[in-house]
Chain A
């Protein structure tokens, strides 16, 4: 079932060269829609909102047993949300580019489908190498899409995009391989454990007689357990390597410079996929590996990362303010938004992590929708400059409605989805106050300063979005007068537009409304009632909170803080859900864990 999520788009992509040009978009639409079926059955086959960690696993055995690479897939709460987002945005991207793409149609839709498959692979893979393969492979379709279908500066944009992310991720690969090596040495030090682990992970199931079980494995859960035992210095280096790789994709300030160029130059669907899903590959990887593999280093360097995130929020926001290109403005707003996402993540408490994960979904919905809106406008006017267009509400009332709605969602108007996640992220940062650790707040090493600066960023966000909406949607009507005919836009039989070029009607067509409507419904739904989604994400968030607080305790131990502080602090950390009695037992269990792991640490440290 999980594998079919990857296979269906690939099969559709393989069909693309075989069918006639007119049928290609239909193949792409059906391919992306068909992938929603397994995605839907993943959703229904497990009761995701039930208590405890829910997951769905599929193992296909070893691929390269000598290297310990196996094709295993797994979906848990976090990846479920992102898989569903990918599945939703897939057909919308196809619908959104229905009339915009008239040349090299096969290339366009073929690569779009391949991109879908690769993105599913990233979220589902349980093997580090398979993850990396999919993660890297997303570059190829995006490179092709940007450099063929982007606007004027597209080639430079595509190359910059490719080189930035390739460089980053190859360094991340070095970090990940280091983790695998660390695991292999641990295993060969304790061969008995090795056989047990390998039997458990099934790494050798389909390997032939020639292939002896290797001490190497790239199985993510196995490596995660080992990686957490690495000493702080090793964790720090691995964390740095991973951050270099994944932060480029996020993009975290100051590694964001590829993003506006790529976004601005990409075709509409490219921007939607880029903003909607691809950026989340970075945050997802940091969430899973950055914090999951190296929690101590993540805790240690959380202020640095969060500082960069805040810088991204402020710098991104200020840059947005001075943009005149609507698409560029939304592109830079992604830098700011992803800054919130990273800030929440590195607050590393329940609120922050929950907000951060929600932000990944919400940003995908609202920014994806904004890019679609801008794409629809661009198809009609062939400009995105605020100097040339204005007051479009008079000309395109339906479009204007959507535009304003999604802008509000993006800016975080209470009642819409952006508000929930943004608020949680900032609250998380505030709660992670180091000096208040013992007085009921969650503890951490961020604090009110980060929250205040992020709050300023929220205000800037509101300013630039409202400024953009005011210029483009309201105000006096301003339309560009192009003399050059945009032949690419012509479609025989379509409605004749008002006075402007092209064959599209003045306002949105039925297809375009259908494209935007699901996003609008979700933006509203997740704004008013985010609880189901939060329930799905909760087990993973709790795991991470447990993990990071354990790591924090280890760090405190390491730095020689008195142990009794740690006990009180841990009690506050895990108040438990039930009554005081229940808390006691749970608290004890939790307290036992760090003690044991500190033992491990000192062992490995010496």
Chain B
């Protein structure tokens, strides 16, 4: 128990910070209120360092995934924190500063917003470190519940409310589905501990085949979690929610629940998957699970990319592209950890690396939307969310324009940017796993994606600014430093993160053991 707590120091740090900002955010003093952001940042940095110094390895098949996942959470979390700066209470604080109203803690949302932000990240870390189904379920819910509120409160528009409600109900459906799946897995194995489930499944495989209930449980769990990763069949909410929420929160949704979902899927499948069995000596997933994932991957990337072609809103385009990227990552999940301990043949390493790649790059594109505002005729501001608004941005606002160009090119997978180095391991892992058809479909989908990413890149770079629209509805930069800074840091990452320490870390995180020690002494062995 104590050992387990020791591995939870990063989570404890974040949780403490969440509780602290809940209070500081409501403080009567404006200086203390402003401190909330810094507290979150300090906690994330501290948690990252703690996670880095943790030597404790989890007992299950992926002993080091927790460490990698927690560090990535902190790195991308910092970028996301920069982006959400100024979301909560900006207009209200301005009024207070001008002396129009007196600060009233009831009206302020800053404390809750940052607290929920930190709760959700805590949940993500817990997901990566989970070794029990109950823990996993609670962690997933801890990721999601705060995001429902973050979506609803991120802007004052009704669309955000609608998005929040939609997200909540569909999220509840997803949660119910994977909880049902978890229950069936428990029924099939009599355990909630991942290691015990692993050994029970291994025993079943050795005895001739997996329990049908177990397989159904796994499939239901994966389908339910597809809500978190925004994959078909639970992807319907994505465009509406991403569009309804403010761009900063959309960026959050595109990374945090997605990473939690992938961590869950990998952990669940590691209990049964990729074990060499009599049917699959090379170590593949059980056939029904494999088939479901295969169809999910293909349909997800195709649906995401094809529908993204039709969008005129930047956020909707990015939402559909987020669906597509989940499809790409599922290829890595299907490929599994591979036979050797190579980075290039391990699909898990590819997925873990891709999560970082996607997180960093995606922040850049959303940061551009978050950093720009269009002035409406009545003097209010709204997000510059139409692709038309990007027109000529490299000339009018070079920093944000180039951020959009470079990050879109990276999402497109254009070498030598980070996105390409994210896709290359997916290719190599897919081929190593013998899924050449899947890799070809992945390639063709990247080509479809080229069309709309090209649009996102070409509008700022090549079009000339629309002068008539600019005078009537000028597009200006939001006066919040964090937003553009997040974009710029993301560009730095996109250019400079393709280096060996990062890939080696992903490889380390994806270390996969086919033998795990069950609490109690026996060794469960796959072979």
Binding site for B on A (CB under 8 A): 62-68, 129, 132-133, 136-137, 139-140, 143-144, 147-148, 159, 162-163, 166-167, 170-171, 173-174, 177-178, 180-181, 184-185, 188, 207-208, 210-212, 214-216, 237
Bound CA–CA A212/B45 (angstroms): 29
A177 and B431 in contact, given A137-B416, A170-B447, A214-B343 (Cβ under 8 angstroms): yes
Q: Is B500 touching A66 in the complex (CB atoms < 8 A)?
A: yes
**Interface CB pairs A-B, < 8 A, 9:** A66-B500, A67-B343, A67-B344, A67-B421, A163-B451, A163-B454, A167-B450, A177-B428, A184-B432
| Most-contacted residue by chain A among B340, B409, B413, B443 (CB, 10 A) | B443
Closest to A166 in B: B450
Query: Are the C-beta atoms of B344 and A180 separated by less than 8 Å?
Result: yes
| Known A64-B499, A174-B427, A184-B344; 18 more pairs at CB < 8 Å | A64-B503, A65-B500, A66-B344, A66-B504, A68-B344, A143-B454, A159-B451, A163-B451, A166-B450, A170-B446, A173-B427, A174-B440, A177-B427, A181-B344, A184-B340, A185-B432, A214-B342, A215-B342
Measured in the bound complex, the distance between the Cα atoms of B443 and A170 in whole Å is 6
Instruction: Please measure, in the bound complex, the distance between the C-alpha atom of A264 and the C-alpha atom of B424, giving whole angstroms.
Output: 34
Contacts of B458 in A (CB 8 A): 143, 147
Pairwise interchain contact A133-B340, C-beta atoms closer than 8 A: no
Interface residue B415 (Cβ < 8 Å from any Cβ of A): yes
B501 touches A (CB below 8 Å): yes
Contact bitstring B450-470, A, C-beta under 8 A = 1, else 0: 110010001001100000000
A64 contacts B340, C-beta separation under 8 Å = no
Is A66 within 8 A of B507, CB to CB? Answer: yes
Partner of B431, one of A67, A133, A140, A174: A174
- Inter-subunit contact A167/B447 (CB<8 Å): yes
Residues of B within 8 A of A210 (CB): 500-501, 504, 508
Contact A133 B415 (CB under 8 A): yes
Give B contacts to A, CB under 8 Å: 339-345, 409, 413-416, 420-421, 424-425, 427-428, 431-432, 436, 439-440, 443-444, 446-447, 450-451, 454, 458, 461-462, 498-501, 503-504, 507-508
Sorted nearest first, the 8 A-B pairs with minimum C-beta distance are A66-B343, A133-B415, A167-B447, A216-B344, A66-B503, A170-B443, A133-B416, A181-B431
A211 / chain B contacts, CB cutoff of 8 Å: 500, 504
Complex alpha-carbon distance, A162 and B452, angstroms: 12
A184 contacts across to B, CB distance below 8 A: 340, 342, 344-345, 432
Docked complex Cα distance between A144 and B440 (Å): 28
Q: Give every chain A residue within 8 A of B409 (Cβ-Cβ).
A: 140
Residues of B contacting A66 in the complex (Cβ-Cβ under 8 angstroms): 342-344, 500, 503-504, 507
Contact of A188 among B340, B343, B421 (CB under 8 A): B340
State how many angstroms separate the Cβ of B188 from the closest Cβ of chain A: 35
A-B contact count (CB 8 A): 119
- For A62, the chain B residues whose CB sits under 8 A away are 500
Contacts of A143 in B (CB 8 A): 454, 458
Residues of A within 8 A of B440 (CB): 171, 174
In the complex, what residues of B have CB within 8 A of residue A148's CB?
Answer: 462
The answer on a CB contact under 8 Å between A171 and B443 is yes
Our pick among B420, B431, B461, B500 for the contact of A207 (Cβ within 8 Å) is B500
- In the complex formed, the residue of B with least CB distance to A121 is B416
Query: What chain A residues lie within 8 Å of B439 (beta carbons)?
Result: 174, 177
B447 touches A166 (CB 8 A): yes
Q: Do A136 and B414 touch (CB < 8 A)?
A: yes
Contact A178 B415 (CB under 8 A): no
Whole-angstrom CA separation of A577 from B425 in the bound complex: 47
**Closest residue to A172 on the B side, CB-wise?**
B443
**Chain B residue with Cβ nearest A65:** B500
| Residues in chain A near residue B343, CB distance under 8 A | 66-67, 214, 216
Measured between beta carbons, the chain B residues less than 8 angstroms from A133 are 415-416, 420
Do residues A216 and B428 form an inter-chain contact, with CB atoms below 8 A?
A: yes
**A139 vs B450: C-alpha distance in the bound complex, in angstroms?**
12
Residue of A nearest to B346 (CB): A66
CA distance A479 to B507 in the complex (A): 68
A345 to B503, CA, bound (A): 40
Contacts of A167 in B (CB 8 A): 444, 447, 450
Q: How far is the CA of A68 from the CA of B500 in the complex (A)?
A: 10
| Cα of A454 to Cα of B271 in the assembled complex, Å | 62
Nearest CB of chain B from residue A242's CB, rounded to whole Å: 13
B475 to chain A, nearest CB (A): 21
Quote the shortest CB–CB distance from A375 to chain B (angstroms): 22
Q: Provide the bound-state CA to CA distance between A208 and B502, in Å.
A: 12
Min distance, Cβ A302 to any Cβ of chain B, angstroms: 24
* Contact A132–B415 (Cβ < 8 Å): yes
Q: Which of chain B's residues have a CB closer than 8 A to the CB of A65?
A: 500
Tell me the minimal C-beta distance from A348 to chain B in angstroms. 28
* Cβ contact within 8 Å between A136 and B342: no
B433 closest partner in A (C-beta):
A181
Verify A163–B450 contact, CB threshold 8 A.
yes
Q: Tell me how far the C-beta of A247 lies from the nearest C-beta in chain B, rounded to whole angstroms.
A: 16
A67-B428, A167-B450, A215-B340 known; A181 vs B504 contact (CB < 8 Å): no
Residues of A contacting B503 in the complex (Cβ-Cβ under 8 angstroms): 64, 66-67
Contact, CB under 8 Å: B415 / A162: no
In the complex formed, the residue of B with least CB distance to A210 is B504
**Cα-based distance from A140 to B406 in the complex (angstroms):** 11
Which residues of chain B come closer than 8 Å to A68, judged between CB atoms?
344
CB neighbours (8 Å) of B450 from chain A are 162-163, 166-167
Cβ–Cβ contact A177 & B345, under 8 A = no
B residues less than 8 Å from A144 (CB atoms): 461-462
> Are A178 and B451 CB-contacts (below 8 A) given A136-B415, A188-B340?
no
Contacts of B444 in A (CB 8 A): 167, 170-171
The answer to whether B500 touches A137 (Cβ under 8 A) is: no
In the complex, the answer to whether B447 meets A67 with C-beta atoms within 8 Å is: no
Chain B residues, CB < 8 A from A136:
414-415, 420
B450 to chain A: closest CB distance in Å?
Answer: 5
Q: Provide the bound-state CA to CA distance between A12 and B266, in Å.
A: 47
- Distance in angstroms between the alpha carbons of A208 and B499 in the assembled complex: 12
| A181 adjacent to B414 (CB under 8 Å) | no
Residue of A nearest to B394 (CB): A107
Tell me which of B416, B421, B428, B498 contacts A180 (CB under 8 A): B428
* B428 to chain A: closest residue by CB: A177
Q: Which single member of B344, B414, B425 contacts A137 (CB below 8 Å)?
A: B414
Residues on A with C-beta less than 8 A from B447 are: 163, 166-167, 170
Q: How distant is the Cα of A68 from the Cα of B439 in the complex, in angstroms?
A: 20
* A137-B504 in contact (CB<8A): no
- Closest B-chain residue to A188, C-beta based? B340
Residues on the A chain within 8 Å of B345, using CB:
181, 184, 216
**In the complex, chain B residues whose CB is within 8 Å of the CB of A171:** 440, 443-444
Residues of A within 8 A of B508 (CB): 210
| Most B C-beta atoms less than 10 A away, residue of A136, A143, A184, A188 | A184
Determine whether the beta carbon of A173 is less than 8 Å from that of B500.
no
A67 to B345, CA, bound (A): 9
The CA of A210 and the CA of B508, in the complex, are separated in Å by 9
Whether A178 contacts B431 by the Cβ 8 Å rule is: yes
For B504, the closest partner residue in chain A by CB is: A210
Q: Give which listed residue, A132, A162, A216, contacts B342 with CB less than 8 A.
A: A216
The answer on a CB contact under 8 Å between B443 and A174 is: yes
Interface centre among A62, A136, A166, A177 (most CB of B within 10 A): A177
Q: How far is the CB of A262 from chain B (nearest CB, A)?
A: 15
Q: For residue A67, which residues in chain B have a CB less than 8 angstroms away from its CB?
A: 343-344, 421, 424-425, 428, 503
Residue from B344, B421, B451, B461 in contact with A214 in the complex, judged by beta carbons closer than 8 Å:
B344
Shortest Cβ distance from A237 into B: residue: B436
Closest B residue by C-beta to A216: B344
Which of chain A's residues have a CB closer than 8 A to the CB of B413?
A: 170
Query: Which has the most chain A C-beta neighbours within 10 Å: B432, B447, B498, B500?
Result: B500
Given A66-B504, A144-B462, A171-B440: A181 touches B416 (CB 8 Å cut-off) = no
With contacts A147-B462, A171-B440, A216-B428 known, is A208 near B340, CB below 8 A?
no
Q: How far is the CA of A27 from the CA of B444 in the complex (A)?
A: 40
For A245, the closest partner residue in chain B by CB is B443
CA gap between A140 and B340 in the complex, in Å: 36
